Chain A
Amino acid sequence: MSVSASTIPAAAWRADFPALNQEIQGHPLVYLDSAASAQQPTAVIDAVSKYHREDHANVHRGVHTLSHRATEAYEGSRDKVRDFINAGSRAEIVLTSGTTEAINLVAQSFCRPRLQPGDRILITHLEHHANIVPWQLVCEQTGAELVVAPINDQGEVELDTMLDLIDAKVVLVAMAHVSNALGTVCPVEAVIARARECGVPVLLDGAQGVPHLDIDVQKIGCDFYAFSGHKMFGPTGTGVLYGREALLEAMPPWQGGGDMILEVSFDETIYNELPYKFEAGTPNISGVVGLGAAIDYLQAIGMQNIARYEHELHDYMVSELKTVEGIRLIGEARNQASAQSFMLGDIHSHDLGTILDHQGVAIRTVHLCSMPLMQRFGISGTSRASLALYNNREDVDHFVAALGKAQEIFG
């Protein structure tokens, strides 16, 4: 289902998020930090609460009723995730603590056994630290080389250069679907097409993709897709690694413990089947229940409707920001989603963040977990406003007015 942007009932969406209905320092909260962590709708809060009140027990273990209910709810969420990103099978949905754990899993279980000195992992210059440091670690462990594809001044991946860097020496390409710092929607289709030709698997860091785009992993054609629950209106401590079944099947477990085994003796342990092989220990059951509720919520609205609404709002925010004297936009990619980074005169972003908070406006400041990207733009930090489905034009207007106040104070 899709409707035109003007008839989208965004005001009703906003009312679904109780945390937004409060004042900060005497001003209505304007939450523009969803790229760091999104607020949760009542449906998610209630699902988690109901689980704790009525259904909690450990999963995959007991014969009793509560354990059965908890297992149904937990595994039900896995099915919802599969449907949400259109994975081919539930065996391809590994539940993790977040994007970071999902990427580390691939680094240690997929890459580490394969990497030889001289092999390469290819990333881009706009990655979040979570898509840099796990690769640095595995490169240190194996003698492989981390290669970084450049970006241009607009904050877009230099595609031709990146495609040229993909060859048989590359064991994995790992790149953001959407940049957390710049909002750039990356040209993943072209990268995947080229990687396919060379037989190189591709991991997408989808932490900022999933909340804003309609994701179909089979259509995208990636081999791994990692994302977090809390950036898509679910609880913190939840995340997903989608992996192509044949790849996951060939990978060794990455953590040992309960639930990931079929049979244990001191001589030999037989690992559980997919996806449980990668889920050692008692998982974040209530969080995953909440993640399932978040997916229900998003699917009821429709990701295409969300994307269309946010795109229009992002355009409005950028055009309003451009009217602010002394503003410098960091990242002006042709295709952006949700986030916009900027600097205001020579006001340090930490000062700006405090002044805006004083007017109820929550933004992210300084390095945005992307220090190499900041270095690329020759700055030590920036400020970022990020939009979600519950934001509206009044939020943008408050935000722009608050920037004016900051200029008054710093004259």
Chain B
Amino acid sequence: METARDMQDLYRELVLDHSRNPRHFGRLDGATHTADGINPLCGDKLKLYLRVDEQGLIEASGFEGSGCAISVASASLLTEAVTGLPVDEADACASVVTRRLGASNAETDTDTDLGTNLQKLKALDGVRAYPSRIKCATLAWFALHSALSNDTAPATTE
């Protein structure tokens, strides 16, 4: 079916898998950074937790909340992608991912090339054809940026 095939570009297997079985779902003990993400248009609500160690590495992450398949999958993929990254790299990821998802299909992907740790995020590229759904996919990444920038005292000793 044409419809089914088109829709599968948005709801790719990886997206459906992460929405059904979100990774790192739930409150994270000992979180050093948190941020809320709210998308009032579609009712997505999430809380993102990060635990940053003394070297400035994200040693654990998690999220809780409710939302559509796209927003849950994106948050789940985020937690996989940023765990183990230094905070500045994670923040850079947030900016690359939000720019990539907001970019039109006509634009080249070179400016928003995803590093090796973000390759799975290509599964979300389908939202670019659905303007009303882009915010669902970017919500968690905006929350990541605000979690990392709001708390000015991360656990870095350097």
Residues of A within 8 A of B (CB): 25-27, 347-351, 354-355, 358-359, 365-367, 380-381, 405, 408-411
Contact = CB atoms under 8 A, between A and B. Distances in A.
A410 B17 CA distance: 10
Given A354-B133, A367-B43, A381-B43, A348 B67 contact: yes
B42 A409 contact: no
B3 A359 contact: yes
A326 to B, nearest CB: 15
Interface of B: 1-4, 6-8, 10-11, 16, 41-45, 66-70, 130, 132-133, 136
A190 B43 CA distance: 35
A349 to B, nearest CB: 8
A200 B109 CA distance: 64
B133 to A, nearest CB: 6
A358 B7 CA distance: 8
Contact of B69 (A348, A359, A366, A380): A348
Given A366-B43, A367-B43, A380-B45, A405 B3 contact: yes
Nearest to B2: A26
Nearest to A26: B2
Contacts of A410: 11, 16, 69
A351 B133 CA distance: 9
Contacts of B7: 354-355, 358, 405, 409
Main secondary structure of the interface of B (DSSP, over half): helix
Main secondary structure of the interface of A (DSSP, over half): mixed
A43 to B, nearest CB: 32
Contacts of A380: 43, 45, 66
A27 B68 CA distance: 24
Given A365-B42, A366-B43, A409-B8, A354 B3 contact: no
A351 B66 contact: no
Given A351-B68, A351-B70, A409-B8, 11 more contacts: A27-B3, A351-B11, A354-B133, A355-B7, A358-B3, A365-B42, A380-B43, A405-B4, A405-B7, A409-B7, A411-B16
A359 B44 CA distance: 24
Contacts of A27: 3
Contacts of A349: 68
B3 A25 contact: yes
Contacts of B66: 380
B6 A358 contact: yes
Contacts of B70: 350-351
Contacts of A359: 3
Contact of A350 (B11, B43, B45): B43
A103 to B, nearest CB: 21
Of B4, B69, B70, B133, the most chain A CB neighbours within 10 A belong to B69
A25 B3 CA distance: 8
Contacts of A381: 42-43
Contacts of B136: 350
A353 B103 CA distance: 23
Contacts of B10: 354
A348 B133 CA distance: 13
A25 B5 CA distance: 13
A358 B8 CA distance: 11
A111 to B, nearest CB: 28
A354 B69 CA distance: 11
Contacts of B1: 405
Contacts of A350: 42-44, 67-68, 70, 133, 136
B4 A408 contact: yes
Given A380-B43, A409-B8, A409-B11, A351 B69 contact: yes
Contacts of A347: 69
Of B7, B45, B133, the most chain A CB neighbours within 10 A belong to B7
A410 B66 CA distance: 17
A208 to B, nearest CB: 21
Contacts of B67: 348, 350
